[in-house]
């Protein structure tokens, strides 16, 4: 087996290769002056099973993934598995209004064209896996998040909404602490309202876990609400830290924000490589 890292995920690809004891090639990717993507896997043939590691967000990274898949097939790879650390467009997973596309389905259908097997990490909705006709598994980052926070004296783990409750439960179980959820209403793309917590957080250290942080609006509202009702410390962990615009600065009210290395940023301190390696080994 050989790992090929796309430009969004070179570090993760290398770490994954270390975990699996196999070699790693970096795809040489650049942009033409007009923005189009050029990529090359610098070898003559690949007589092996290949695992590509590359995000499908933002759009440029999706195009790079499609081009890498084709290049690997041309080199003669026996099979191609795609590790998609952050699968873009997963939030538009159904029709909310007539005339909309099912974006997650569109992405899955495109990506499976040159793929024998897909591994994602903390998909927004598990349901999305059904759009792949090849074998597809979603790796849960909760064990890595729970382990990272095990030295933080966390009293309770909360999700910002009921949809993410099972993630909070899983992290809480690993840490041996209680878990619950808050109630979120989205007001606009940037702002959300969090209802007063049903759970008593007075004097407690709270860990909020979510699958992703985009504008930071959810976390700011949740943290403000928790501090208002007496939480001592508010830690935040997410799998995918997109941190659009000034999201990290916006979250200055939080005591600590960390995310996984599915999307790289200054706070990508939790590695999912061992969990992804395990999932790949189980499917061999």
Catalytic residues: 184
Residue 84 makes contact with ligand R5P by CB under 6 A: no
Q: What token pair was written down for 147?
A: 């382990």
Residue 26 CA to residue 117 CA, distance in Å, equals 20
Measured from the CB atom, the residue of 156 and 221 that comes closer to ligand R5P is: 221
Residue 212 makes contact with ligand R5P by CB under 6 A: yes
170: left (phi over 0), alpha (psi -120 to 50) or beta: alpha
CA angle 60/219/274 to nearest 5° reads 60
Residue 214 makes contact with ligand R5P by CB under 6 A: yes
Using CB under 6 A, which of 108, 141, 213, 280 touches ligand R5P?
Answer: 213
Using CB under 6 A, which of 210, 262, 263, 275 touches ligand R5P?
Answer: 210
Q: Which of residues 148-187 bind ligand R5P (CB under 6 A)?
A: 160, 164
CA-CA distances (angstroms) from residue 140 to 33, 104, 120, 182? 38, 19, 9, 21
The three-state secondary structure class of 85 is: coil
In the complex, the smallest distance separating the C-beta of residue 49 from ligand R5P, rounded to whole angstroms, is 33
In the complex, the smallest distance separating the C-beta of residue 186 from ligand R5P, rounded to whole angstroms, is 8
Residue 217 makes contact with ligand R5P by CB under 6 A: yes
In the complex, the smallest distance separating the C-beta of residue 86 from ligand R5P, rounded to whole angstroms, is 12
- Count of residues near ligand R5P by CB under 6 A: 12
Count of beta carbons in the 10 Å neighbourhood of residue 65: 30
Measured from the CB atom, the residue of 46 and 219 that comes closer to ligand R5P is: 219
Residue 218 makes contact with ligand R5P by CB under 6 A: yes
In the complex, the smallest distance separating the C-beta of residue 190 from ligand R5P, rounded to whole angstroms, is 7
Q: What token pair was written down for 195?
A: 């209802």
Q: Say which residues have a Cβ less than 8 Å from residue 41's Cβ, sequence separation at least 6.
A: 4, 25, 27, 28, 68, 71, 72, 75
Q: Which of residues 187-206 bind ligand R5P (CB under 6 A)?
A: 192
The three-state secondary structure class of 133 is: coil
Residue 170 CA to residue 152 CA, distance in Å, equals 17
Measured in whole angstroms, the distance separating CA 3 from the mean position of its chain's CA atoms is 19
Residue 264 CA to residue 261 CA, distance in Å, equals 5
Measured from the CB atom, the residue of 27 and 234 that comes closer to ligand R5P is: 234
In the complex, the smallest distance separating the C-beta of residue 187 from ligand R5P, rounded to whole angstroms, is 10
Answer whether 128's CB lies under 8 Å from 87's CB. Answer: yes
Measured from the CB atom, the residue of 117 and 167 that comes closer to ligand R5P is: 167
Using CB under 6 A, which of 158, 211, 270, 277 touches ligand R5P?
Answer: 211
Binding mask 88-127 for ligand R5P (x = CB under 6 A): ----------------------------------------
Prior bond to 245 cis, omega within 30? no
Q: Which stretch binds ligand R5P (CB under 6 A): 9-17, 26-34, 211-219, 225-233?
A: 211-219
Q: Which residues bind ligand R5P (CB under 6 A)?
A: 160, 164, 192, 210-218
């Amino acid at each position: 087996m050989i790992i090929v890292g796309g430009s969004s995920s070179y570090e993760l690809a290398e770490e994954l290769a270390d975990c699996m004891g196999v070699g790693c090639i970096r795809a040489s990717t650049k942009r033409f002056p007009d923005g189009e993507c050029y990529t090359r896997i610098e070898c003559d043939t690949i007589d092996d099973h290949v695992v590509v590691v590359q995000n499908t967000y933002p759009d440029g990274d999706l195009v790079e993934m499609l081009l890498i898949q084709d290049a690997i097939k041309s080199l003669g790879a026996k099979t191609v598995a795609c590790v998609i650390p952050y699968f873009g467009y997963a939030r538009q997973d159904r029709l909310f209004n007539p005339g909309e596309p099912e974006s997650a389905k569109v992405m899955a259908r495109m990506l499976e064209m040159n793929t024998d097997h897909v591994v994602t990490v903390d998909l927004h909705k598990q349901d999305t896996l059904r759009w792949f006709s090849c074998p597809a598994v979603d790796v849960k980052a909760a064990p890595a998040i729970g382990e990272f926070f095990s030295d933080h004296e966390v009293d309770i783990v909360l999700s910002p909404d009921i949809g993410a409750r099972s993630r909070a439960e899983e992290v809480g179980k690993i840490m041996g602490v209680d878990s619950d959820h808050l109630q979120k209403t989205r007001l606009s793309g940037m702002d959300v309202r969090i209802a007063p917590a049903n759970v008593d957080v007075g004097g407690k250290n709270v860990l909020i876990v979510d699958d992703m942080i985009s504008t930071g609006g959810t976390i700011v509202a949740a943290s403000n609400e928790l501090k208002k009702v007496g939480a001592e410390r508010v830690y935040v962990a997410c799998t995918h830290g997109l941190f659009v615009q000034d999201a990290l600065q916006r979250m200055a009210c939080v005591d600590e924000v960390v995310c996984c290395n599915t999307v790289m940023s200054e706070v990508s301190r939790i590695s999912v490589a061992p969990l992804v390696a395990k999932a790949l080994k189980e499917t061999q």
